[in-house]
Amino acid sequence: MGMTGHPGMTWQQWQNTVIALLQTYGWHVAHFRPAMNQRGQWRTAVAANGKGWPDIVAIHKERGQLLVAELKTGKGRLTPEQKEWLEYFRLVPGCGVYEWKPDDWDTILGIVQGGR
C-alpha cells in the first residue's frame, strides 16, 4: 500500500516517521542532524570520509541486526558519496542496507518488524 497518500510529506516528516517506526520495534537508532553554519548553509559536522554517511544507522539488540538506510522523498537521488557508503556497508555480513522512500512503506514495515 505504501505511504502514497502523503505526497506533500517533507523529508523531515519522513525521517521522523521512520525513526519512530524503528524505535517502536526495538531498534536503537542514530541520526546526525545538520546545523546551520555562519554562512547560513546547512552542514553536518563530519571528518575523514564522513560525507555521505547514511541517514539512519540502527541496531536491534535482541536480534543482533545492523541496519543502515538512506532516506529519500520525491525524486531524491543518492549522491556518489551516499552510494559509496552503502556499498561499504554491503560488505558487512548480515547488514541490511536500504534506500527508503515513502512508497516503500509496506516493505520497510516488514523489514523493521523482523523480516529481511
Average pLDDT, the chain: 84
d(CA 82, CA 35): 19
d(CA 33, CA 31): 6
pLDDT digits (tens, 9 = 90+) for 36-46: 667 776 556 66
pLDDT digits (tens, 9 = 90+) for 86-101: 999 999 999 999 999 9
* Residues contacting residue 49 through CB under 8 Å, at least 6 positions apart: none
d(CA 96, CA 2): 20
Structural domains of the chain sorted by starting position, each given as residue range(s) with its CATH number in brackets: 11-113 (3.40.1350.10)
d(CA 97, CA 36): 29
Does this model's pTM top 0.85? My answer is no
Q: How many CA atoms lie within 13 A of 116 on its CB side?
A: 6
Q: Is the pLDDT of residue 7 over 80?
A: no
